[in-house]
Structure 1
Amino acid sequence: MQICMDWRSVKFDWNKARAFLVTAEEGSLSAAARALGMAQPTLGRQVDGLEQELGVVLFERVGRGLTLTPSGMELLEHVRGMGEAAGRVSLVALGQSQALEGPISISASETYAAVLLPPIVTKLRKLEPGIHVEIVVSNHASDLLRREADIAIRNFRPTEPDLIAKKIGMADAILYATPDYVAKLGNPKTPYDLRHADFINLDRSGGMLKGLNSLGLGLTEANFPLLTESYLVMWELVKQGAAIGVLDAQIGDAEPTVVRVLPDLEPLQFPIWLVAHRELTTSRRIRRVYDFLIEELKR
C-alpha cells in the first residue's frame, strides 16, 4: 500500500529530523550516535519524539540494526533535501562573515583530538580569545557539506569538488608494545619472529591485516585476538602490555612506557590533510583557524 502523506504540512523539530536522517543513513542508533557525537539514549528519544509528532512508525528493528518502514522511506527523501538545503544556507551565511570572534568546529580522530589538538587549540585561544572552539571527535570522516564540522583533519584526500584541502605531510605508523611484551616474544629481530605475536585490530574489514602483511609480517586472523574501533582504547591496551598496536610515530614515540617493535621495519605511511568547505574560505574566522592549523600541524 502506498503511503500518501503531505510531509510539508507537518511541523517538526529539525534536530529530531536530523537524528532520523543520520539514523537512517547509518543503519543503527549506535552508529548514528557516534556520527553525531551524542549519547545513544538521547538520539533514541529524538527519533521517538519525531515518530510521536508525526503519528507514524519510521523504523523496524532487524537484529541489531534498523530498517525503514514505508513511511520512513517516504519521509527520508524530504528530510534529506531539507538537510542539503540547510547546509547550503548555513555555508553561504558563514562564508560571508568577516567577524573574527565566534564558534568554530574542528573534526579529528580520537588520537589526534586527544594528543595533537589540545596544545594547538590552547595556543590558538591565547592568540584569539574571541574564537570558541568545538573539537568533534570522530574516527569516521565528518560530513563537512552538512556542517558536522567546519574544518577536518583527515588521512585521505577528499574527492568532493566543494571541498578544499591542504596536504600537511606524511605520517609514519609504527608497531608499539611494552618492553615486557617485547621480551616475552624473545626480543624479535625479523618480521618472521612476530608470527606468534598478538595484535590489536582496529578494522573489521581486514584492512589492517592486509597493511601489516604488506610489510612482510605474514600474519593471519589468529594474530588479532583483540578488536576495538577506538584508538584510545587500543593505545591503553598496548600500554598495559596486552598486545602490539599501531600508531602515529609522533604520538607513539612520546610515550615512555612503550617501545618500537622491530625499529628497523619500514613504517606504514599515510597522508595528513586539512579539509574545509570551499565557501568557508571567505570567512575571516575560518581562514584564520585553517591557516593556523596548517602552520602548527607542520611543526
Structure 2
Amino acid sequence: MNSEPSWDLYRTFHAVLREGSLSGAARRLDMSQPSIARHIDALETALGAKLFLRTPRGLSPTDAALELKPLAERLAATSAALRRTAEGGGGGGALSGTVRISASEVVAVEHLPPILARMRQAHPGLALELSPSNALDDLLQRKADVAVRMVRPEQQALVSRHVGALVIGLHAHRDYLARRGTPRTLADLKDHDLIGYDVETPAIRAAVQQYPALSRDAFALRVDSDVAQLAAIRAGFGIGICQAVVAARQPDLVRVLPDAFHMALETWIVMHEDLRGNARCRAVFDALVEGLSGIIESSAR
C-alpha cells in the first residue's frame, strides 16, 4: 500500500457493513450507488484485500472485512464524537449541539423520556441521541457522551456520580395471580410461568447462584430484552423481574415474594473527563443526576 486510504473510504466501508448492500449504504450516506462501489473498489485496492462477496442476499463481508469491522466502528464513533464536540463548544450562552446518551433499555424507556423532555424545553437548541442498550457503551471510545450505568465505572478517565440504587423484585399482573395463585416461597415458583433471560451473562450467573429457582430451565418465556420481559409481565404472561419503581406506576402489577427476593441495581451517571468543561454535556450529566436521584429517592419513601 503506497498511501493511507482516505477516511471517506472507511466511512463508506462501515456503511456497507451496516446496511449489507451498496444501495443501502448509498441511502445512508446520501451518495450514489456507483460512488459507493468506487469507494469500496478503491479501499480494496489500497488494502490489497477483497472485502465483500456478492451473494443473492446482498454483500457478504470477507474474513478481512470482519477483522476490520471493530476498527471501522471505532473510527465511526470517533468521527461522530468529533462532530458532536465541534457543534456546541464549551462556552457560555444558549446550549446547542448534540449529546449522545447511553442507558439500559428499561431506564431509557421508563425513566429518561420526562427528564429529556425537560432538558429540551429548557434548551431548545440541544439535540439528544439516546442509545437504549444493555451493553456497556465504551465512553473511552466516545460511543456515547454521557451514560447511565448499573455497574461501578472502573476507568480512571471517567467522571461519575452515584445516584443510588434501583430496587428490583419479582412482579406479576393481578389477573395472572388470580388465575394461578400467589407463591408463598421461592420453591413455589416451580408451579408458575416464569419470565426470564435467554443468554446467561456473568451477572446473571451470580444472581442464579443466589436464587437457584430462577435458572434458565425454569422459564416459560426466555427473552434477553428487559423491555420485552416487562411487557410480558404487564400482559399477564407470568412472574418476572422488574424495577419496583416501574411496577409501582401500574396498579395492576403486584410484587411477589418481596422478603425472599430482593436485589438492587446501583446506578451511576458517567461521562469522559475530557467533557467536564463541555457545557452541554455537563448540563445533560447534571440533569440525569437530578432526575434519576429524584426517582430513586421517591421510590424509597
Q: Any stretches of 5+ residues in structure 2 without a counterpart?
A: 27-35, 55-59, 295-301
2:99 equivalent to 1:104:
yes
1:265 deviates by 2.7
1:222 deviates by 2.6
Moved more, 80-89 or 289-298: 80-89
1:72 deviates by 5.5
Q: Any stretches of 5+ residues in structure 1 without a counterpart?
A: 24-28, 30-39
Residues 94-145 of structure 1: per-residue CA shift (max 9 Å, x gap): 7952252222121112211111111111122222222222222222112223
- Give the Cα separation in 2 of the matches to 1:78 and 1:240: 42
1:179 deviates by 1.8
1:11 deviates by 6.0
Moved more, 191-200 or 246-255: 191-200
Equivalence map 1:237-252=2 (5 Å): 237-252=232-247
Among residues 61, 65, 69, which one is paired with 2:63 in the alignment? 69
Aligned match of 1:35: none
Q: What is the TM-score of this pair, normalised by structure 2?
A: 0.75
Partner of 1:189: helix, strand, or coil? Answer: coil
Cα distance change, pair 11–165 in 1 and its aligned pair in 2 (3 A): closer
- Give the Cα separation in 2 of the matches to 1:84 and 1:104: 13
Checking the alignment, whether the CA contact within 8 Å between 1:199 and 1:244 is kept in structure 2 is yes
Equivalence map 1:129-148=2 (5 Å): 129-148=124-143
Among residues 200, 217, 221, which one is paired with 1:222 in the alignment? 217
Aligned match of 1:208: 204
Letter of the 1:69 partner, please give it: D
| Matched positions, count | 272
Residues 199-251 of structure 1: per-residue CA shift (max 9 Å, x gap): 22235026536515514x53443311322222221111111221221111111
Partner of 1:218: helix, strand, or coil? Answer: helix
Moved more, 284-293 or 80-89: 80-89
Cα distance change, pair 125–232 in 1 and its aligned pair in 2 (3 A): same
- Give the Cα separation in 1 of the matches to 2:3 and 2:65: 10
Among residues 5, 8, 14, which one is paired with 1:12 in the alignment? 8
Among residues 158, 173, 176, which one is paired with 1:178 in the alignment? 173
Cα distance change, pair 125–67 in 1 and its aligned pair in 2 (3 A): closer
Partner of 2:4: helix, strand, or coil? Answer: helix
Q: What is the TM-score of this pair, normalised by structure 1?
A: 0.75
Checking the alignment, whether the CA contact within 8 Å between 1:108 and 1:139 is kept in structure 2 is yes
Cα distance change, pair 175–77 in 1 and its aligned pair in 2 (3 A): closer
Among residues 51, 71, 74, which one is paired with 1:58 in the alignment? 51
Cα distance change, pair 148–246 in 1 and its aligned pair in 2 (3 A): same
Equivalence map 1:1-299=2 (5 Å): 5-6=1-2, 8-9=4-5, 12-19=8-15, 45-46=24-25, 51-55=40-44, 56-58=49-51, 69-70=63-64, 73=67, 75=68, 79=72, 82=75, 86=79, 97-99=90-92, 100-205=95-200, 207-208=203-204, 210-212=206-208, 214-215=210-211, 218-299=213-294
Letter of the 2:43 partner, please give it: L
- Give the Cα separation in 2 of the matches to 1:81 and 1:245: 36
Once the two structures are aligned, what percentage of the paired residues are identical? 29
- Give the Cα separation in 1 of the matches to 2:240 and 2:252: 13
Letter of the 1:254 partner, please give it: R
Cα distance change, pair 9–152 in 1 and its aligned pair in 2 (3 A): closer
1:58 deviates by 2.6
Letter of the 1:16 partner, please give it: T
